[in-house]
Amino acid sequence: MTIKVYYCFPDDNYKINSINIETDTNIGDFIHDILGLDKETAVGVYGKLKDVSYIIKENDRIEIYEKILADPKIKRKKRASNEKC
């Protein structure tokens, strides 16, 4: 079965790979055994966060998410308070 894997990078670039996997592969096995990533990596399907037990379906769009380095709300609040001074 074929799926698409989307990687988004901090500079707003992205990479798309089509990968063939076995039927009934779950996300945990896929990200750990096939991609070599930590099982705690956040993964979504069509923009919705999924648990590692989710069974991947034909033509799913798998999205690998990175951890947020800085909370956007906090950054905006700091920027706003600096502009008022």
33-47 residue pLDDT tens: 888 888 888 899 998
Q: Domain locations in the chain?
A: 2-84
- Over range 44-58, report the average pLDDT: 92
Q: What dotted CATH number matches 2-84? A: 3.10.20.30
Distance CA 61, CA 47 (A): 9
Q: Is the pTM here over 0.95, yes or no?
A: no
Angle, vertex CA 31, rays to CA 48 and CA 3, nearest 5: 65
In this prediction, residue 85 has a pLDDT band, given cuts at 50, 70 and 90, of low
The mean pLDDT of 9-23, rounded to a whole number, is 80
